[in-house]
Structure 1
Amino acid sequence: MAIVNPPLEAEYDLVIVGSGGGSVPAALVAKQQGRTAVILEKETRFGGSTSFSGGVWWIPNNSLLREAGIADSFERSREYFDSCVTYSGPAVTPQRRDAFLKAAPRMLDWLRDKGLKVRRPRDDWPDYYDNLPGGEPQGRSIMPEPLNLRELGQWEDHLAIYPPMASLPMPAEEYPTLFLMKRTWAGKRKALRMAWLMLRDRLTGRQTVGNGSAIQGRMLQIALREGLEIQLGSPARQLIVEGGKVTGVMIERDGKSIPVRARQGVLVNVGGFSRNKSFRQKVTDGPTTDEWTSANPGDTGEMVQAMIDIGAATDCLDTAWWVVTSRNTNGEWPEGAIWKDGRVFPFMHHLDLSMPHSIMVDQNGRRVADEAGAYMEIGERIYQRNRETGGRAVPCWVIFEKRHRERYPWGAMPPGKTPRSWLDSGYMKKADTLEELAELCGIDPHGLVAEAQRFNRFCDTGVDEDFGRGCRRFDKLHGDPTVKPNPSLGKVEQGPFYAVAIYPGDVGTAGGVVTDEYARVLKDDGSIIPGLYATGNSTASVFGRCYPAAGASIGASFTFGFIAAHHATGSNELERIIA
């Protein structure tokens, strides 16, 4: 797959490192301001971490809400932000919060005017903490319209795609209903719709993608239509600093180091360091490895380190956008996680973990979190419990009973299918009683039995007194409506019982360099590093250690890329945008 890059200039007004979510908006702003810009992508495919994502933006107070007759406002969005973002750190400031909340809806409308095709989810997707003040039970998240990859022409083979989603023409918000294909008529209709879409693509030669590839495919369409310059296979390794100001980057091309200079600024949007094992182990308080991540292959952190090397402040380096994964305790990956070419794509347990008739426990047999809740919170709680117990929560264990295995998917397998290899390899343990299962897993059997009995009482009342599972609309929509009185709570009482070891996987790191409301990179003393901007997973999140809703990280990446380019190019529109 040959890369045909346009001629590389020695200097641009704005140099954008990485092709993730915030990059095309930044380049579009530069063009609108009459400036030159280049997007330098390390990989041979465009899209970065955003292409590997579920493909959602969280945009409070957006125009699609108004078009649907749903009332929202800056004040209500700020109330929700302040209700769920409780972390106090240098990147979580009132100024950054307000800049995001004000600029995000304006950025979205600006992209829609440029032809971006978006919609609200077909199925409900509430804010993750919709029960908090300002929370929106109908959701503030938006989706791209699905994309036929054939529309990209010669660029089709240069769009990054997360392989497990490549053949699924249905976007992520429809999966919870699809998972109920054995339980509800809505689930059966969704399965039929999926089959029809796959057949249509096969018969017509289409290749329909949703999720992150649809976001970045549509952004690539706009970039090509607008004539933006994209350079693939151009990894940046270090920043050029002259007189204390960042004036460009050094890239590698054909075995040579080539300077690319920036007259007005360098915007770093390279993702985080999920695939940098040594960096992760240095900054994480607890077991971690690059093997558990589902982040894109280029997420190796060189430019994050380069910013640190010139004095950038950092925060929250030990956290990530957690989505737990599972594998055998001997390190082997289960059937379904290993691709034909030998690549491993770890299972991401978010929706299947939410289904009734299962609980997640530590090695003392105690539950750790709301299993149906926000995935980042689950990862944070696993590490918290691991510290509290002296290392007895990594791995945790998901305990299933027979009804879960009969009714719902797990990993890459459809409802009711438990591969023989899972049991033979030891990836999934099986026993007739909880006591026997605990012995197989090294869990305290008395603790597990007592916890299951306590949980089962919650299932009778419909109220999880420990973690509130099922108290949010978000939880309930990821449960089984045929289970009463709470669709999130199904008893763990019928054998045989099963167990799988759970590890804190992620889809990207959530800590990085500290930036201000204009996306300028800051030093520890709060002063700026002139000429240097950053957005996306390269930065410490404006949300701290919380994930308020689907698409929060992508919404912030787009928004701060948009803001950064306005600031770097001296746009007189900036104050209106964040006023």
Structure 2
Amino acid sequence: MSAAITAHLEGLSVLMLEKTAHIGGSTAISGGAIWIPFNDQTEKVGHPDSEAKVWEYLHNVLGEIPNRSQMQAYLDRGAQALRYLEQHDALRLLGRVYSPDYYPDRSGASMGGRALDPAEFDARELGGKFRELRNPLPEFTVLGGMMITLTDARHLLRVTRSFASWKHGMKLVLRYFKDRLQGYHRGTRTLLGNALAARLFARMVSLGIPYRLHAEVTALLRADPQAPERVTGVEVQTPAGTEQLSARKGVLLATGGFPWDAEMRQAHYPSPTGPYSMSPTGNTGDGIRMGREVGGVLGTGNSSPAFWAPVSVLQRADGTALRYPHLVWDRAKPGLIAVNSAGKRFVNESTSYHEFVIGMYRSHEQVATIPAYLLCDSDFIETWGLGLALPGGRPRQHLEHAGYLVKAPTLDALAGQLGMDGNVLKETVARYNLHAAQGQDPEFGKGSTAYNQYLGDPDHQPNACLAPLQKGPFYAVRVYPGDIGTALGLQADAHARALNAQGTPIPGLYVAGNDQNSVMGGAYPGPGITLGPALTFGWIAAMHMAHPEAAH
């Protein structure tokens, strides 16, 4: 959508083809953060930055920068892309006053200013097109379709204890019920990535940019005898049949990477891997496959092929699976630990979701850690919940019956249900509890960084991330190494042009989003390092198509 809007505004004729029934892809179900240093709000929110500081941080997280010229283009032009899209009413972003980078203890890190969030968007502006927007993940809504932020969630958990929270909660609920009474299929107050996708989509609609749903691109065309390597259009499969469409300026691939292509997962993911992606199931590597068919090549040297997240899985009675990503809500809170099959801790539970899964794979080389187990006591689950198990005394028996949530009166009994040595688990918890009561974790450093504390409970002392596990019954949830999208993709240059094996641009072919090899090389330095490059390189691709002579 970033590319489509830009290309249209720059005078090109545009058509956006969407394989599924809904607009928005992974963005619509994401947290929506955008990481772009030197954006126009960086200084306004109190975090002046410098190019030297950003490069220092990136080197300290990524090591060798995989594609330096592309990274330079991202840093040079990211803020330009946001400014352009905001000036043309396609974006509205809010700078984060406080939002530590994911490795805040590494030199060059920032405590805020690099990440932005989409402002909430009133989807009533979409009219009848609202149903064409991809819904957020249902487990991140309440009351069957009301989106909420972390701040909203904290207020809703306190509605019976605080008048301010009651007032906040009632305002949300009344708006939601009004939406449903007026016939909307869910709440029209969109937030996070859903708001980002909704605003972009609404701008496309208002500009009259044509798009098609249920339009699966199956091949790239090369029909210019004077330039046989040039991509000149696409073959698209629609409910009405197969069509061939020509493109004068270029084709941009942005089909969401390959998280649901079992063959590519098996070839490129660490072992073991399973169907645990949070991406839409339509993201099956179509763009990458087609790009390779015309000479495109995969990136090399990535530290990870995907952006990881621990995922718990509920097997429903009808045979379907519900996946829940443990991103920022429960792992960092005080009173939760993660253990492997031996009943021992193996990672800082409050580290980033990406780093947590890296820890799972690392531990699995020595002792079975796939699945791993998130453990807590009754006080924790009543306060924070655990995955799909909601807090505040809400019903959880169905999760126990399904085998998703394991409950036991004692740690010994819990260990027995999980196939662990009870003495080892009790020793692990006792050692953790001893230090947690003092606000320390000398073994793994839970709660030791600004990012850890940011996700903890600010009202809990002496450490926002640490509290003993003491009160039975005790609970556990199995988590698997899942992903929120792939990082391995087609190699591209600073203009988002797909490159061949010789490093030469393939004429007429551009690539962005998760089809493009991650500019971060599979590392995850901060919130929004997928959406930031997606918006930027979509804009860069469109500007290059419209003004190739201005490329520098």
Judge same fold: TM > 0.5, yes or no: yes
What SS does the aligned partner of 2:324 have?
A: coil
Question: In the alignment, does 2:111 pair up with 1:137?
Answer: yes
What SS does the aligned partner of 1:532 have?
A: strand
Q: Report what 1:294 is aligned to.
A: 278
What SS does the aligned partner of 2:331 have?
A: helix
- Residues 230 and 538 of structure 1: is their aligned pair in 2 closer, same or farther, counting only changes over 3 Å? same
**Whole-Å Cα distance in 2 between the matches of residues 498 and 307 of structure 1?**
47
CA apart distance, 1:107: 0.8
1:102-113 counterparts in 2 under 5 A?
A: 102-113=76-87
Question: In the alignment, does 2:185 pair up with 1:210?
Answer: no
- Residues 458 and 573 of structure 1: is their aligned pair in 2 closer, same or farther, counting only changes over 3 Å? farther
Identity %: 29
Residues 305-342 of structure 1 show CA distances to partners (whole Å, capped at 9, x for unaligned) of 222233322245963222222136xxx249xxx9xxx9
Question: In the alignment, does 2:377 pair up with 1:393?
Answer: no
CA apart distance, 1:132: 2.2
- Comparing 208-217 with 560-569, greater Cα deviation is found at 560-569
Correspondent of 1:258 among 231, 240, 243 = 243
Q: Is this contact kept in 2: 1:362–1:443, CA < 8 A?
A: no
CA apart distance, 1:395: 0.5
1:149-228 counterparts in 2 under 5 A?
A: 149-164=123-138, 165=140, 172=149, 174=151, 177-178=154-155, 181=158, 189-190=164-165, 192-203=167-178, 205=182, 207-228=188-209
Q: Report what 1:15 is aligned to.
A: none
Q: Report what 1:246 is aligned to.
A: 231
Q: Report what 1:71 is aligned to.
A: 48
Q: Report what 1:312 is aligned to.
A: 296
Q: How many residues align?
A: 535
- Residues 114 and 232 of structure 1: is their aligned pair in 2 closer, same or farther, counting only changes over 3 Å? same
**Whole-Å Cα distance in 2 between the matches of residues 481 and 183 of structure 1?**
20
Q: Is this contact kept in 1: 2:43–2:113, CA < 8 A?
A: no
Amino acid at match of 2:49: D
Q: Is this contact kept in 1: 2:279–2:485, CA < 8 A?
A: yes
Q: Is this contact kept in 1: 2:304–2:521, CA < 8 A?
A: no
Q: Report what 1:495 is aligned to.
A: 472
- Comparing 478-487 with 100-109, greater Cα deviation is found at 478-487
Q: Report what 1:325 is aligned to.
A: 311
Question: In the alignment, does 2:258 pair up with 1:273?
Answer: yes
CA apart distance, 1:501: 1.0
Q: Is this contact kept in 2: 1:121–1:173, CA < 8 A?
A: no
What SS does the aligned partner of 1:458 have?
A: helix
* Structure-2-length-normalised TM-score: 0.89
Q: Is this contact kept in 2: 1:39–1:229, CA < 8 A?
A: yes
Q: Is this contact kept in 2: 1:409–1:417, CA < 8 A?
A: no
* Structure-1-length-normalised TM-score: 0.85
Question: In the alignment, does 2:103 pair up with 1:126?
Answer: no
Q: Is this contact kept in 2: 1:182–1:415, CA < 8 A?
A: no
What SS does the aligned partner of 2:79 have?
A: helix
**Whole-Å Cα distance in 1 between the matches of residues 159 and 196 of structure 2?**
31
Residues 523-547 of structure 1 show CA distances to partners (whole Å, capped at 9, x for unaligned) of 3443333322111111221112322
Cα RMSD after superposing both structures: 2.8
**Whole-Å Cα distance in 2 between the matches of residues 304 and 163 of structure 1?**
26
Structure 1 unaligned regions, length at least 5: 1-23
**Whole-Å Cα distance in 2 between the matches of residues 346 and 384 of structure 1?**
23
Q: Is this contact kept in 2: 1:104–1:559, CA < 8 A?
A: yes
Q: Is this contact kept in 2: 1:176–1:478, CA < 8 A?
A: no
What SS does the aligned partner of 1:397 have?
A: strand
What SS does the aligned partner of 1:65 have?
A: coil
1:164-563 counterparts in 2 under 5 A?
A: 164=138, 165=140, 172=149, 174=151, 177-178=154-155, 181=158, 189-190=164-165, 192-203=167-178, 205=182, 207-242=188-223, 243-254=228-239, 256-290=241-275, 292-315=276-299, 316=302, 319-327=305-313, 332-333=315-316, 344-350=321-327, 351-389=329-367, 392-412=368-388, 413-417=390-394, 419-563=396-540
Q: Is this contact kept in 2: 1:170–1:194, CA < 8 A?
A: no
**Whole-Å Cα distance in 1 between the matches of residues 539 and 287 of structure 2?**
20
